[in-house]
Amino acid sequence: MSHAPEDDILDRPLPIDDESAEHVRLRVRRKLPGRRLDKYLHGRFPHLSRTTIQRLIRQGAVTVNGRSTKASYEMCGGDLIDVVVPPPETLEIVPENIPIDILYEDEHVLAINKAAGIICHPARSEQTGTLVHALAYHASRLSTGGHPFRPGIVHRLDKNTTGVMLVAKTDEAHWRLALQFERRTVQKVYLALVEGRVHLDGDMIDAPIGVHPTVREKFAVLIRENKIDVAKEAITFYEVLERFRGYTLVKLLPKTGRTHQLRVHMSWIRHPIVGDKMYGGKPVSELSLTGQGSPEAIIEHQALHAWQITFRHPISEQRMLIEAPFPEPLRRLVALLRAARREPGERAP
């Protein structure tokens, strides 16, 4: 699919209805050396993308001291900025009859066992068929949340990570749960099958994570001094549950919740998660494990499962533990390893 050059997009005027648009006047109190107009406005209007702001500037919907200017203009103390802010887009989630596995439900909270292959909410590449669309069909109500395209979504799992996930049905439940995640009082336990023999029975991985320096879709441990400012603290505890020849079943307990954290951390200690092609993991088949049977991959994606979550009910404050059973492919994979590759002295947990 071809994409229009960025300059063409910037040259297209945004439709602005004077009756529905908001007129905002800002005064710059002091000189901001090196601060561009478009960056400044993006900080003041975070719901508008920087591209949208640049388009507004180009079409004259932004003026400085009564005159049109460029996005690169560096502001001075006393500058008066007038902005015509277009109304937010009308966003609608159309319910879709997509099966979901409900583990727990009351009038405030819903807990589901998320399947592989489904993203949590609409993104640029996927506008339908998401978990939000499924929830809109099955749930009697959902919180409005902080974004109209993410009703009920308090936290997320990667597209191909399975397991327990909490959903808020009311706004009060949403902000109370979000506060627990922010304060790191929610305890999450994941199970993962990783490559290689993990020698330590348990350890802590403390390695900051940021966007990969060359691959935009990936994340990486960034520990060089010139990268530490763009990385965020990331801490994962792990415990070995069972060892097999060439593989280890581990329990992962994240203290922080960075995107792809568990996948990046296990790859960084040279034990990538089985099937996680993005971070070095390889798919396995019955043939590769036992020398016979099907050559087809048992799991096409990362063998990572959100097993348990412990939290306080946002309304009753009762302590709750919700557990999601293993998906069948992961269960079959572990059973094959126990039958064909168990190490001497190892017992199933």
- pLDDT tens-digit series, residues 43-92: 888 777 788 889 899 888 899 998 889 999 988 888 999 998 876 554 56
Please check whether residue 125 lies inside any domain of the structure: yes
- For 192, the token pair is 């993962």
- Kindly state the average pLDDT of the residues 156-181: 92
Confidence of residue 1 (pLDDT cuts 50, 70, 90): very low
Active site residues: 158
Which residue's entry shows tokens 């937010």? 88
C-alpha dihedral sign at 105, 111, 112, 113: negative
Q: Which of 177-191, 224-238, 263-277 has the lowest mean pLDDT?
A: 224-238
Is there a single domain that holds both residue 207 and residue 290?
yes
Is there a single domain that holds both residue 169 and residue 197?
no
**How far is Cα 201 from Cα 248, in angstroms, rounded to an integer?**
11
Is there a single domain that holds both residue 173 and residue 290?
no
Q: In the listed set 182, 215, 242, which residue is the last one of a domain according to the structure? A: 182
Residue 174 structural domain:
101-182
Please check whether residue 305 lies inside any domain of the structure: yes
Report the largest interatomic distance among the alpha carbons of the chain, rounded to a whole angstrom: 79
Is there a single domain that holds both residue 146 and residue 203?
no
User: Of the candidates 342, 327, 100, 133, which has an alpha carbon nearest to the alpha carbon of residue 241?
Assistant: 342
Q: Is the pTM of this model over 0.95?
A: no
Confidence of residue 7 (pLDDT cuts 50, 70, 90): very low
Helices of type H across 250-312 = 261-268, 286-290
Is there a single domain that holds both residue 231 and residue 159?
no
Is there a single domain that holds both residue 249 and residue 334?
yes
* CATH code of residue 115: 3.30.2350.10
Query: What is residue 57's DSSP assignment?
Result: H
* CATH code of residue 32: 3.10.290.10
Q: For the chain, first and last CA: distance in Å?
A: 49
Q: Is 61 within 8 Å of 48 (Cβ atoms)?
A: no
Q: In the listed set 51, 85, 119, which residue is the last one of a domain according to the structure? A: 85
Predicted pLDDT of residue 3: 42
Please check whether residue 240 lies inside any domain of the structure: yes
Quote the percentage of the chain above a pLDDT of 90.
Answer: 49
What are 232-281's pLDDT values in tens digits? 899 999 999 999 999 999 999 999 989 899 999 999 999 999 999 999 99
Is there a single domain that holds both residue 78 and residue 133?
no
> What's the domain count of the chain?
3
Task: Give the chain's radius of gyration (CA, Å).
Answer: 24
Predicted pLDDT of residue 80: 92
